[in-house]
Amino acid sequence: MTISFTVSVAVQGEASPNLTQAFTDACRKIYTELKRIEADFSAFLPDSLVSRFAEGDESILLANAEFQEVYAAALLAKEETAGAFDPYFAGKFDPTGLVKGWAVKKSLPPVSCP
């Protein structure tokens, strides 16, 4: 996804090797999850759920719980912003503006410090 964000950890003293490994593992999980989300929710990939839905495959709305979540959030965002955010602004469903923040939030795994 073409979105910038920073993952950081604040520690007092020296970071233990366990913390360093936990951070590295968390970053790998975040990357993997963002790639999965991009495959499903990119409006620029022809086989993504978003692209298929935009081309008329409405079965996705019933078959995929995450898509239902994004679709409902996009419609709610349109309502709550009085149309400033519109997932149909170009005539086809494109929740890109909403999905980027949703993806970052969804990709952050719980991390426990050793």
| pLDDT one-digit tens code per residue, 73-107 | 999 999 999 999 999 998 999 999 899 989 988 88
Q: Which pLDDT belongs to residue 112?
A: 58
Q: How far is CA 79 from CA 50, 75, 86, in A?
A: 20, 6, 9
Q: Are the beta carbons of 102 and 73 closer than 8 angstroms?
A: yes
Q: Which pLDDT belongs to residue 114?
A: 54
Question: What backbone phi and psi angles, to 5 degrees, belong to 31?
Answer: -60, -45
CA angle 73, 32, 74 (to 5 degrees): 10
Q: Are the beta carbons of 75 and 87 closer than 8 angstroms?
A: yes
Q: Which pLDDT belongs to residue 99?
A: 93
Tell me the two tokens of residue 29. 């999980």
Q: Tell me: pLDDT of 52 over 90.
A: yes
In the three-class reduction of DSSP (H, G, I as helix; E, B as strand; rest coil), residue 108 is classed as: coil
The domain limits of the chain are 46-106
